[in-house]
């Protein structure tokens, strides 16, 4: 995984030049760090650092003291609090307008709080400013119903691409809150692949497991960079 870490480090340095705000740069560092940690596993993973950060922003809004400072440091680093919050306002507004574009982008969040726990009105007002239909109550005695509700919601938000993400085993006596996130993207390639060029190729699920899957193939001239640490294709 050493070479992969170098690739991420170089990519972080290169793309950092393209971002002007401190929050944008912090978000890039967060994404690279998250991907580096995931890369330590032997399993294949697909994740969205942006989707994770929008969920952690909810935790940031609920937190206080040292926890709040740590979350802001992870998501915003040296950015001021107004700049940090403005960044997420812009991002959430951008997602809300995605339906007007030639692609589909849905990022959905929900916060489930166990019945009997009080939620400060000030926190509810802040949540209402950033998110709609976010806060929901749940009863531990109705776990089966809750699991079905969450799975149906995620399936609906992801156009049935993500299903059965949670089970009753995910909810224990100690569960007080569930922070759920779902993301769905569907779009077309700017430069299309031709259908007849799709071929069966080896996909490495892990270091020891390989599976044949249909892969798009294209012959083209693209920018390329190589040195002792990395090889990059633009």
State pLDDT tens for residues 83-109.
888 888 888 887 777 666 778 888 889
* pLDDT over 70 percentage in the chain: 90
Please say if the pLDDT value at position 2 is more than 50: no
Q: What is the rounded CA–CA span in Å between residue 30 and residue 76? A: 9
CA atoms within 13 A on the CB side of 21: 16
Please say if the pLDDT value at position 44 is more than 80: no
State pLDDT tens for residues 112-131.
999 999 998 988 998 888 88
Please say if the pLDDT value at position 28 is more than 90: no
Alpha helices per DSSP H over the chain: 2-16, 22-39, 49-62, 65-76, 81-96, 121-130, 143-157
Q: What is the mean pLDDT of residues 127-153?
A: 90
| Winning range, highest mean pLDDT, from 39-43, 98-102, 135-139 | 135-139
**pLDDT score recorded for residue 7:** 47
Q: What is the mean pLDDT of residues 136-165?
A: 92
Q: What is the rounded CA–CA span in Å between residue 118 and residue 110? A: 17
Q: What is the mean pLDDT of residues 135-158?
A: 92
CATH 3.30.497.10 fits 99-187, yes or no: yes
Mean pLDDT across the chain, nearest whole number?
A: 83
Domain ranges of the chain: 99-187, 195-233
State pLDDT tens for residues 172-215.
999 999 999 988 888 888 878 888 889 999 998 877 889 999 99
User: Is the Cα torsion angle 60, 152, 113, 123 positive or negative in sign?
Assistant: positive
Q: What is the mean pLDDT of residues 37-55?
A: 82
Which whole-number Å values give the CA distances from 166 to 145, 169, 170, 227, in the listed order?
A: 12, 8, 6, 44
Q: What is the mean pLDDT of residues 48-71?
A: 90
Q: Which of 29-43, 132-146, 148-162 has the lowest mean pLDDT?
A: 29-43
Placement of tokens 């959430």 in the chain: 92
**pLDDT score recorded for residue 4:** 47
Helix axes 49-62, 22-39, angle to 10 degrees: 110
State pLDDT tens for residues 3-25.
444 444 444 444 444 445 778 88
Residues constituting the chain: 234
**pLDDT score recorded for residue 20:** 52
What is 74-124 written as a DSSP string? HHHTT--HHHHHHHHHHHHHHHHTGGGSSSEEEEEEEEEEETT----HHHH
**Do residues 59 and 71 make contact, with C-beta atoms less than 8 angstroms apart?**
yes
CA nearest 62: which of 130, 151, 140, 157?
Answer: 130
**pLDDT score recorded for residue 100:** 62
Higher pLDDT, 102 or 141: 141
> What phi-psi label fits residue 77: left (phi over 0), alpha (psi between -120 and 50 degrees) or beta?
left
**pLDDT score recorded for residue 14:** 45
């Amino acid at each position: 995984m050493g070479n992969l870490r170098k690739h991420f480090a170089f990519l972080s340095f290169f793309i950092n030049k393209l971002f002007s705000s401190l929050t944008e740069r912090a978000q890039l560092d967060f994404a690279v760090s998250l991907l580096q940690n995931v890369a330590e596993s032997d399993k294949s993973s697909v994740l969205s650092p942006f989707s994770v950060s929008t969920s952690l922003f909810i935790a940031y809004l609920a937190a206080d003291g040292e926890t709040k400072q740590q979350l802001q440091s992870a998501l915003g680093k040296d950015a001021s609090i107004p700049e940090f919050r403005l960044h997420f306002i812009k991002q959430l507004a951008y997602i809300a307008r995605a339906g007007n574009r030639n692609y589909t982008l849905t990022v959905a969040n929900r916060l489930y709080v166990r019945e009997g726990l009080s939620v400060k009105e000030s926190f509810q007002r802040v949540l209402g400013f950033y998110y709609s239909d976010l806060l929901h109550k749940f009863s531990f005695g109705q776990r089966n119903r809750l699991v079905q509700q969450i799975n149906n919601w995620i399936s609906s938000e992801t156009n049935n691409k993500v299903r059965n993400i949670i089970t009753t085993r995910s909810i224990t006596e100690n569960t007080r809150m569930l922070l759920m996130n779902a993301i769905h993207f569907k779009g077309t390639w700017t430069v299309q692949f031709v259908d007849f060029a799709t071929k069966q190729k080896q996909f490495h699920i892990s270091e020891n497991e390989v599976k044949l899957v249909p892969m798009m193939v294209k012959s083209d001239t693209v920018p390329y960079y190589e040195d002792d640490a990395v090889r990059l294709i633009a």
